[in-house]
Amino acid sequence: MSQMRKDIFSGEWVIFASNRKDKPYSYKHSNKIEENDKNICPFCPKNENLTPPTVYEIKNGDNWEIRVFENMYPAISPTDYESDNDNFYESIYGYGIHEIVVDTPEHTMDMSNFSNERFVKLFKVFIERIKFMRSQNNIEYIQIFKNNGPLAGASISHSHWQIMGISILAKEQERMLEAFKEHKNKTQRCIMCDIVKHEIEVKKRIISQNDFFVSLVPYASRQSFEVWIIPKRHVSTMPLLNQNELEALVSIFRDMIKRVQSLRDGISFNVCFQEEAKSFPNGLFHWYIKILPRIGTLAGFEQGTRCFINPVIPEFAAEFYRKK
Ligand SMILES: [Zn+2]
Ligand SMILES: [Zn+2]
């Protein structure tokens, strides 16, 4: 069962997915990948029968290189709605598509060791899945993400990504939309294009750049050492990136992953691809990637106020990354 309930005070949606409490967990008591659970890893080749059927794959001869299937324990689903029949609060059916993308057949391969070619193929798989999900009715927003390591929420150590197509606009996207709209109305320009221009001028928070992309620590990042990778050209959705841009993205992305991993041995982190929502005015949004190292935790003040205390000033974080 999957149901979404709206918080009556914040207007934020919460997904309730009671089927997920039984999902397997392959990390024991350490951050390290378990080497000995290969036989039962559902993401390894020859264990495909332990997962739902393949919906998309990249083959290399008889074997798959990248495999996409529906999540065994979806947080949202196209079926099984159970209403709570409560008319005082707002709730909707937790409709959506929740897919897993296994990006390597090798059980213990870390993404930082992928070749450029594998990343280009992987990003093209994302583009195909975005196009597919955008073509489905009732899908409003598509979140591509990777939980790298147990502290980032990964439950299975074999490298993989997730794609969730959801039927609502989450508060985060709603706020982004407002900021993009407001800036456009005031200046006729894109707020993210202006951020990129400003950051390149002042240099303080830039980590690296190539012809097509820039990586930086955002001015008011809520989490320590947060990184954004932003295309220099105004691109509203990932499928609009051209071949040269995809290759440049792979090179800056790989480089940033290595720099993030230099923060701490075995560090957990999340990667989020921020897409244009379907109901955004066409072309208004500016696509980008967020990388969020898991350092520290939400403490009482953050829990009470939703106001984050970040002990690392972004200019320092950028300087640290630049030296790596
Ligand atoms: Zn495996
Ligand atoms: Zn822009």
253 CA distance to ligand 2 middle (Å): 19
CA 175, CA 192: separation in Å to the nearest integer? Answer: 14
**pLDDT reading at 290 higher than 90:** yes
Instruction: State mean pLDDT over 123-141.
Output: 96
Question: Out of 34-43, 146-155, 204-213, which region has the weakest mean confidence (pLDDT)?
Answer: 34-43
Question: Out of 58-67, 92-101, 121-130, which region has the weakest mean confidence (pLDDT)?
Answer: 92-101
273 CA distance to ligand 2 middle (Å): 16
26 CA distance to ligand 1 middle (Å): 10
Predicted confidence at residue 75, as pLDDT, reads 85
Confirm or reject CATH 3.30.428.10 for domain 172-323, answering yes or no. Answer: yes
**pLDDT reading at 106 higher than 50:** yes
Question: Out of 25-29, 258-262, 284-288, 301-305, which region has the weakest mean confidence (pLDDT)?
Answer: 25-29
> Which DSSP symbol is given to 107?
T
Predicted confidence at residue 298, as pLDDT, reads 85
Predicted confidence at residue 84, as pLDDT, reads 78
Predicted confidence at residue 29, as pLDDT, reads 47
180 CA distance to ligand 2 middle (Å): 9
Q: In this structure, what token pair is assigned to residue 120?
A: 């280009």
Q: Which of 168, 166, 146 is nearest to 157 (CA)?
A: 146
Written as one string, the DSSP assignment of 213-257 is: EEEE--TT-SSTT-EEEEESS--SSGGG--HHHHHHHHHHHHHHH
Arithmetic mean of pLDDT over the chain: 92
Instruction: State mean pLDDT over 303-319.
Output: 95
Residue 8 near residue 99, CB atoms below 8 Å: no
The model carries a pTM of: 0.94
Q: What angle do CA 149, 153, 154 make, to 5 degrees?
A: 50
Predicted confidence at residue 304, as pLDDT, reads 92
Predicted confidence at residue 297, as pLDDT, reads 83
Q: State phi, psi for 286 to the nearest 5 degrees.
A: -125, 110
Q: Which ligand is nearest to the CA of 39?
A: 1
Q: How confident is the model at residue 80 (pLDDT cuts 50, 70, 90)?
A: low
114 CA distance to ligand 2 middle (Å): 29
Question: Architecture of domain 2-168 in CATH?
Answer: 2-Layer Sandwich (3.30)
Helix count and strand count (H, E) for the chain: 6, 13
Higher pLDDT, 299 or 129: 129
Stretch(es) of the chain classified as CATH 3.30.428.10 = 2-168, 172-323
Predicted confidence at residue 76, as pLDDT, reads 85
135 CA distance to ligand 2 middle (Å): 24
